[in-house]
Amino acid sequence: MLLEGKTGKWEIICGLEIHCQIISKSKIFSSASTHYGSDTNQNVSFVDAGMPGMLPTLNEECVKQAVKTGLGLRAQINKYSEFSRKNYFYADLPQGYQITQFVHPIVGEGVVTIDLDDGTTKDIRIERLHIEQDAAKSIHDMSPTKSFIDLNRCGIGLMEIVTKPDFRSPEEAGAFLKKLRSIVRYLGTCDGNMNEGSMRCDASISIRPLGEKELRPRAEIKNVNSVKFAMQAIEFEAKRQLELYENGGTMEQETCRFDAATGTTKFMRKKEFANDYRYFPEPDLPPLVLTDEYIENIRKELPELPDAKKTRFVENMGLTKYDATIICENKEVADFFEKAAAGHDGKKVANWLMGDFFAMLNRKNLTIENSPVSAENLGKLVGLIENNTISGKVAKDVFEIMSETGENPEKIVEEKGLKQVTDSSAIEAIVDQVIAANPDNVTAFRNGKTNLKGWFVGQVLKESKGKANPQIVNELLDKKL
């Protein structure tokens, strides 16, 4: 996407930093629980509270999850990594420093392929992934003079994923966030819930006249908590900068935040007021050294990731790229699809899934996990159409019943007597009846009004209460008219 300015075309340059809360039972440097929604200050160890003399110990699960995610990002896993302290005073940082990785992160460069709406793909380069501790979450609006500190979130493991400045439009950034969320969910390393804050995004945005080589100063937007907001924020900020430049203004590197209520970015501080974090190697934790064997064992355990699944669905199950992309975005949907499609025509199952089935979930405000229609039953329904037991039209009625009762479609068809009539003598009787009852139309048809054929088919199907096999009806009409 290019910005159309008064002075010409401008290009957006954007990079993202995403914080993903690691799924683990205990915190990254302490053995307190990561459980969400516990009572105030109950998931807190003496380490988390920054008590004197307390020392961090690294959770093996957080290391494993980071390596897994790194492999999912097709990234370099660094066998040697180090922890560092990032020093600053903050209410939510009891130690007065955050333990993070600085010079030697656990994961290096990688790549994520994003799917764009026009059906094309683009590779986004990953700069690094490192692990660190989350801050606490305080309450500042309970009193005009006091802040209230709850350390439950303090010390939960985070993966910070940094991209190269490869995004040229808000859409690309949005597609990346969706893809990343999909990857971490497939891997089970982060639940990806941006609205609950378990995945948070910072975006750096600058613009430049198309063709200019130098990068201009950027604005960093902190803590955007949905894909939609991230796209809005980037678009707003890019346009703001465009207006600034075209009115003769200049940019300085700055930090801002996104205001969801107005869809605008709000200035926070200039770069020169940024903190001096005084990073240095964490003396309480020796370097982390991983072996090839360790990394390979994790690689072997990796589940099939969305891109691989998509290719397989296109190549082996007859899906279009578009359908496969949508179905594979969510692992639960992909699994549901695969179960439903077992032994059936994949494309037909996909049509049902993305049509009536999703519409039903939307209408009932349900997720796929608690759908009344099971994957097996959706598959059976398609099977009944495939073997001509019911017509597509009857199938829609059967599906309605299934979504109310959750019943097996075979049983519904049996009980309600909805089986398609394929006995041509029975259908012939109806055809004869319809011809006899409508002599005017028969004459008109025979005089060249051939488009009345459809009308005859409809009449026959109506008389059969939809059970007549439309193909046989057609054949008989052709013969008799």
Partner 1 sequence: MSVDTQTVKKIAFLSHLKIDDDKIDTVGAEFNKIISWVEQLNEANTDNVEPLVSVNDTKLTLRKDEVVEGNQADKILKNAPAAEYDYFVVPKVVE
Partner 2 sequence: MSDITKLTISQTLEGLKNKQFSATELTKAYLQDMEAKRNLNAYVLETPEQALAQAKVADTNYANGTPRTLEGIPLGIKDIFCTKDVRTTACSHILDGFVPQYESTVTSKLFNDGAICLGKLNMDEFAMGGSNENSFYGPVVNPWHEERNLVPGGSSGGSAAAVAANICAAATGTDTGGSIRQPAAFCGVTGIKPTYGRCSRYGIMAFASSLDQAGPIAKDVKDCAILLQSMSGYDPKDSTSVNKEVPNFTSFIGQSVKGLKIGIPAEYRPQGLNQEIADYWDKGIEILKQAGAEIVNISLPNTKYALAAYYIIAPAEASSNLARYDGARYGLRIDGKNLDEMYTNSRTSGFGAEVKRRIMIGTYVLSAGYYDAYYLKAQKVRRLIQNDFVEAFKKCDIILTPTSPLAAFPIGDKTMRESPINMWLNDVFTVSVNLAGLPGMSLPIGLSKDGLPFGLQLIGRSFDEETIFKTAAIIEQEAKFERLK
Interface residues with partner 2 (CB under 8 A) are 46, 49-58, 85, 87, 89, 91, 94-97, 147, 149, 276, 278-280, 283-286
Q: Distance between CA 193 and CA 179 in Å, rounded?
A: 13
Question: 297 — alpha (psi -120 to 50), left (phi > 0) or beta?
Answer: alpha
1, 46, 217, 359: residue in contact with partner 1 (rule CB under 8 A): 46
Helices (H), 342-408: 346-352, 358-364, 375-386, 392-405
In the complex, the smallest distance separating the C-beta of residue 56 from partner 2, rounded to whole angstroms, is: 7
- 82 is in the binding site of which of partner 1, partner 2, none (Cβ under 5 to 8 A by kind)? partner 1
Retrieve residue 139's tokens: 């309450």
32 touching partner 1, by CB under 8 A? yes
- 85 is in the binding site of which of partner 1, partner 2, none (Cβ under 5 to 8 A by kind)? partner 2
H or E element in which residue 236 lies = helix 227-246
Q: Distance between CA 44 and CA 54 in Å, rounded?
A: 13
95 touching partner 1, by CB under 8 A? no
53 touching partner 1, by CB under 8 A? no
Retrieve residue 295's tokens: 């990394």
Instruction: Judge residue 34's burial from the number of C-beta atoms within 10 Å of its C-beta, 0-12 exposed, 13-18 middle, 19 or more buried.
Output: buried
233, 288, 341, 395: residue in contact with partner 1 (rule CB under 8 A): 288
In the complex, the smallest distance separating the C-beta of residue 96 from partner 2, rounded to whole angstroms, is: 2
H or E element in which residue 87 lies = strand 84-87
Count of residues that interact with partner 1, criterion CB under 8 A: 47
Measured at the CA of 418, the angle between CA 379 and CA 468, to 5 degrees, comes to: 105
Q: Are 391 and 457 in contact (CB under 8 A)?
A: no
150 touching partner 1, by CB under 8 A? yes
In the complex, the smallest distance separating the C-beta of residue 328 from partner 1, rounded to whole angstroms, is: 29
In the complex, the smallest distance separating the C-beta of residue 233 from partner 1, rounded to whole angstroms, is: 18
- 284 is in the binding site of which of partner 2, partner 1, none (Cβ under 5 to 8 A by kind)? partner 2
Q: Distance between CA 275 and CA 90 in Å, rounded?
A: 11
Retrieve residue 62's tokens: 């957080």
Nearer to partner 2, 91 or 429 (CB): 91
Q: How many CB atoms lie within 10 A of CB 326?
A: 20
Retrieve residue 417's tokens: 């007597």
In the complex, the smallest distance separating the C-beta of residue 154 from partner 2, rounded to whole angstroms, is: 11
276, 293, 369, 440: residue in contact with partner 1 (rule CB under 8 A): 276
> Do β-strands 219-224 and 254-259 pair in parallel, antiparallel, or remain unpaired?
parallel
- 40 is in the binding site of which of partner 2, partner 1, none (Cβ under 5 to 8 A by kind)? partner 1
- 33 is in the binding site of which of partner 1, partner 2, none (Cβ under 5 to 8 A by kind)? partner 1
270, 271, 278, 446: residue in contact with partner 1 (rule CB under 8 A): 278
Nearer to partner 1, 94 or 174 (CB): 94
Nearer to partner 2, 150 or 323 (CB): 150
Q: Are 81 and 104 in contact (CB under 8 A)?
A: yes
145 touching partner 1, by CB under 8 A? yes
Q: Distance between CA 53 and CA 70 in Å, rounded?
A: 33
54 touching partner 1, by CB under 8 A? no
In the complex, the smallest distance separating the C-beta of residue 132 from partner 1, rounded to whole angstroms, is: 15
Burial per residue of 456-479, b for 16 or more beta-carbon CB atoms within 10 angstroms, e otherwise: bbebbbebbebbbbbebbeebbee
Which residues lie near partner 1 (CB under 8 A)? 24-26, 30-33, 39-46, 49, 57-63, 82, 89, 91, 138-140, 143-151, 268, 276, 278, 281, 285-289
